[in-house]
Amino acid sequence: MSREAWALSAPVPKATGWQLFLKTVVARAYPRVVGQQRERSWIFFDVFLSVLAISAYVFVYRAIGAPEEYVGFVIVGGAMTAFWLNVLWSMSSQLYWEKESGNLALYIMAPNSMMAILLGMALGGIIATSLRALVILLVGSLIFHVQYAVGSIPALVIIFLLTLTALYGLGMMSASLFLLWGREAWHLANLAQEPIYLLSGFYFPVKNLGFWVAAVASIIPLTLGLDGMRQLLFPSGAALGFLDVRIEIVILTVLSVLFLVAARALLGYMERKAIREGRLLESRR
């Protein structure tokens, strides 16, 4: 037997356990990263339109004589908007659109876990969205001459990573809900988008909403994440902050664990329901 024939007939080792999990994550992250390079015009228009949106708030703040730190708050909030939109439309609704396109059946039948599939989507989205957010932050800071005074780089990195972990955990959890609820969840997401911008304090300190409203809004990871990053980035950020940064780090850690555990439970329920009843893969009348 020739070497080529032997290579073709030899059994291919199958990845299992953590190897299968990691390969699935890489495989699902790859299309997100490469896809951004193929549609570079999307990056330009996403950045350009985002800068236009934050410019309106900057001009309003300067027209009413608001503190100059508010301009920086708007820039940081506009940059973090990219992550929220990525979670809302590229994570939460992903399984619903995979069902509509006929790919969900393949995900359910595959030997890998749904957590690995969604984690790969999340990592791929984070890489592409981080570039977009960084460009928005740099361009906005240069145009409007924003001055930063970083209080603690380690704390800033920690709160940023915890915010992304909790945020994408929320996206994984809501992906199952979008799939189970169908088009109704799509309409609810459209309806809730602007109220979430308000409650999360994307363009102003969330402290201005009052303690109890801000406390309820803290279930959204970006609320505390933005508040903590602003406190660490601007000299008067602590005075305009909602809670102490250390408390916000603890809460974000709890939210990260809570959302990831809930996502695992909901995805497991969805897989069992799909295998047992087939309701997620075909419509019954």
Measured in degrees and rounded to the nearest 5, phi and psi for residue 59 equal: -65, -35
Query: Is residue 284 assigned to a domain?
Result: no
CB-count exposure of residue 175 (10 Å: 0-12, 13-18, 19+):
buried
The segment with the largest mean pLDDT, out of 24-28, 71-75, 248-252, is: 248-252
Number of domains in the chain: 1
Query: Is residue 5 assigned to a domain?
Result: no
Contact 281, 273 (CB under 8 A): no
Query: Is residue 282 assigned to a domain?
Result: no
Query: Is residue 17 assigned to a domain?
Result: no
Query: Is residue 52 assigned to a domain?
Result: yes
Question: How distant is the alpha carbon of residue 225 from its chain centre?
Answer: 12
Query: Is residue 137 assigned to a domain?
Result: yes
Contact 222, 133 (CB under 8 A): no
Average confidence (pLDDT) over 58-79: 86
Per-residue model confidence as pLDDT tens digits over 8-60 = 555 556 666 677 778 888 877 787 777 766 666 666 767 777 788 888 888 88
For residue 229, the tally of other CB atoms under 10 A from its CB is: 25
Per-residue model confidence as pLDDT tens digits over 177-236 = 777 776 666 677 777 777 888 888 888 888 888 889 988 888 888 899 989 998 888 887
Query: Is residue 14 assigned to a domain?
Result: no
> Taking 70 as the threshold, does the pLDDT of residue 140 lie above it?
yes
Q: Find the domain containing 185 and state its range.
A: 22-277
Query: Is residue 12 assigned to a domain?
Result: no
Q: Is the dihedral of CA 242, 248, 251, 252 positive or negative?
A: positive
CA dist 282 and 40 (Å) reads 36
Given this model, what pLDDT does residue 4 score?
53
Per-residue model confidence as pLDDT tens digits over 82-129 = 888 777 766 777 777 777 777 777 777 777 777 788 788 778 778 778
Q: Where do the DSSP E strands lie in the chain? A: none
